[in-house]
């Protein structure tokens, strides 16, 4: 496979997307899915949300956290990181406690 390369690195990378707990209902009950996604994390997340019809704006954004390689998505982006081959993106619901 020929990989297009931009100034900021590979345009598409192969990553593992994990759907934890109740998030599995959006992936057809699969825990992990291999995907080719853009290296830009924001674009990659939007593609996942669109492809699996995750109702992100309908409250999920408040009760689910996205991690990239065990780093909170917002921190990953804040550091200026880009996705690389073999990275892992995980959608993890917050657990309630009492």
CATH fold of 9-93: Ubiquitin-like (UB roll) (3.10.20)
Residue ranges covered by each domain of the chain:
9-93
CA 63 to chain CA centroid, Å, is 15
* Contact call for residues 27 and 59 (beta carbons, < 8 A): no
Q: What is the pTM assigned to this prediction?
A: 0.85
CA 40 to chain CA centroid, Å, is 11
Closest CA to 67 of 94, 97, 47: 94
Q: What is the pLDDT of residues 34-63, one digit of tens each?
A: 999 999 999 999 999 999 999 998 888 899
Distance CA 4, CA 11 (A): 6
């Amino acid at each position: 496979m020929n990989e297009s390369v931009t100034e900021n690195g590979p345009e598409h990378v192969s990553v593992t997307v994990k759907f934890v707990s109740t998030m599995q209902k959006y992936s057809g009950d699969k825990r992990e899915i291999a995907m080719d996604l853009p290296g830009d994390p924001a674009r990659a997340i939007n593609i996942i949300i669109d492809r699996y019809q995750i109702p992100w704006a309908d409250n999920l954004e408040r009760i689910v956290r996205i991690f990239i390689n065990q780093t909170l998505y917002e921190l990953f982006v804040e550091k200026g990181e880009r996705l690389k081959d073999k990275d892992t993106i995980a959608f993890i619901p917050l657990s309630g406690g009492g």
